[in-house]
């Protein structure tokens, strides 16, 4: 066992290095995008507003626009690393505190959706794979095929139309206060956000389970008289979890971006709706910050998934996992 876990530090170092590399390049791209915008950066940053000389001086100072490009980037990156994400033009407030105030709603929304996706997606995939070719499986396949094509904004509009307007069961607006009220307010938004991803996780689970079900060791276990339930739980599901976790990690980016759509549709004050609003108002520092946060969250989640892989399947470290 110790021998197999031997390369763990090397693996960790390699993954961490890749993550840091990705984040550095990302931050550079996000910063440099300012200079890709047509026209003078100062004019772009203060677009549409009538800037006072002080405001122009403040923008120049914040982005270090008098300095050479690389110095600008390092200056900006230093600020970001110290939690200074700049100042929002539309709210005349620090971007950092602006984001913190709205983080809660987005986190609650994404968390509720993640739970829904994991529970329903896994259940659908497992049920489908265990009844492969029969009615239950066909039902899962038809439903996931359909749901995978329902974008979150369509789901949002249809859910609002049916459950909020027609039936009056749920609110159409706001995120609520307190735990229960918040969960109630976020029920439809998280459902709208989840549907596509439930379908995708369901399909991935189904195919990963089918792959494992067809393996010899499963047949051997069954032929030795081990109960099917036990085999499915300990031999099939356990082995299928690795690939499911990997793909679920990749879905996180889409989940975060789709939350922008759902937040806008349901009038929630989260990071996503702030992003859309900031693009609309030409508030570039906020846009930069949120893009950076989304990419960072995606990279970190996938790092965690990768680091968890050896716990799910110790063979993955030794490179002997059955593929």
Partner 1 sequence: MTALAVSVVGSGRLARLRSAGGGWLVVASALMLLAFVLAAVLAPVLAPYDPDLPVLGNVLAPIGAQHLLGTDQVGRDTFSRLLFGARTSLVGPLAVVVVATVLGVATGLLAGWRGGWVDAAISRVLDILFAFPGLLLAILAVSLFGKGVVAPVIAMAIAYTPFVARQVRGLVLTAKARPFVSAYAVQGFGAFSIATRRVLPNIAPTMLAQATVLFGYALLDLASLSFLGLGVQPPTADWGAMINQSRGAVLLGQPLSAVVPSVMVILTVVAFNVVGEELGDRIAKRDR
Q: Which residues bind partner 1 (CB under 8 A)?
A: 18, 21-22, 25-26, 30, 33, 36-38, 132-133, 137-138, 141-142, 145-146, 148-154, 157-158, 160-161, 165-166, 172, 196, 200, 203-204, 206-207, 247, 250-258, 260-261, 264-265, 275-276, 278-280, 282, 284, 287, 291, 294-295, 298-299
Nearer to partner 1, 38 or 178 (CB): 38
Residue 229, judged by CB atoms within 10 A of its CB (0-12, 13-18, 19+), counts as: exposed
Min dist. Cβ of residue 215 to partner 1 (A): 18
Min dist. Cβ of residue 217 to partner 1 (A): 23
Residue in the structure block whose two tokens are 């600008």: 72
Min dist. Cβ of residue 308 to partner 1 (A): 18
Min dist. Cβ of residue 201 to partner 1 (A): 9
Nearer to partner 1, 136 or 318 (CB): 136
Nearer to partner 1, 221 or 287 (CB): 287
Nearer to partner 1, 28 or 184 (CB): 28
319: left (phi over 0), alpha (psi -120 to 50) or beta: left
DSSP letter at 215 equals S
Nearer to partner 1, 191 or 295 (CB): 295
CA 126 to chain centre: 23
CA pair distance 99, 94, nearest whole angstrom? 9
Min dist. Cβ of residue 302 to partner 1 (A): 8
Min dist. Cβ of residue 193 to partner 1 (A): 12
* DSSP H helical ranges for the chain: 8-36, 41-45, 53-63, 69-81, 95-130, 135-147, 152-159, 179-185, 187-213, 216-223, 228-231, 238-266, 271-281, 284-312, 315-318
Strand 87-88 relative to strand 93-94, pairing: antiparallel
Min dist. Cβ of residue 91 to partner 1 (A): 16
Written as one string, the DSSP assignment of 121-146 is HHHHHHHHHHTTTSHHHHHHHHHHHH
Nearer to partner 1, 1 or 36 (CB): 36
Nearer to partner 1, 56 or 141 (CB): 141
Written as one string, the DSSP assignment of 289-304 is HHHHHHHHHHHHHHHH
């Amino acid at each position: 066992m110790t021998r197999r876990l031997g390369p763990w530090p090397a693996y960790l170092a390699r993954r961490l290095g890749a993550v840091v590399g990705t984040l550095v390049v990302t931050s550079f791209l996000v910063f440099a995008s300012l200079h890709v915008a047509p026209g003078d950066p100062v004019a772009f940053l203060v677009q549409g507003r009538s800037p006072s000389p002080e405001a122009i001086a403040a923008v120049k100072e914040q982005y270090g626009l008098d300095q050479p490009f690389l110095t600008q980037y390092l200056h900006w990156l230093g600020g970001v690393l110290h939690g200074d994400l700049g100042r929002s033009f539309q709210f005349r407030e620090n971007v950092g505190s602006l984001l913190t105030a709205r983080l809660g709603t987005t986190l609650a929304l994404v968390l509720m959706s993640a739970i829904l996706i994991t529970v329903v997606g896994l259940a659908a995939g497992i049920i489908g794979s265990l009844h492969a070719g029969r009615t239950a499986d066909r039902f899962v396949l038809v439903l996931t095929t359909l749901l995978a094509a329902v974008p979150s904004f369509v789901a949002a509009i249809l859910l609002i139309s049916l459950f909020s307007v027609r039936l009056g069961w749920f609110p159409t607006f706001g995120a609520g206060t307190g735990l229960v009220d918040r969960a109630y307010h976020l029920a439809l938004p998280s459902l709208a956000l989840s549907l596509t991803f439930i379908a995708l996780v369901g399909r991935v689970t189904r195919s990963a389970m089918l792959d494992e079900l067809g393996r010899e060791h499963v047949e051997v276990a069954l032929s030795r008289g081990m109960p099917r339930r036990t085999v499915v739980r300990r031999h099939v599901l356990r082995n299928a979890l690795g690939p499911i976790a990997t793909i679920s990690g990749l879905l996180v980016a889409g989940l975060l971006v789709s939350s922008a759509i759902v937040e806008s549709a349901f009038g929630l004050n989260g990071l996503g709706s702030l992003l859309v609003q900031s693009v609309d108002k030409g508030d570039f520092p906020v846009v930069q910050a949120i893009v950076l946060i989304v990419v960072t969250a995606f990279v970190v989640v996938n790092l965690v998934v990768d680091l968890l892989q050896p716990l799910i399947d110790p063979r993955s470290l030794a490179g002997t996992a059955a593929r």
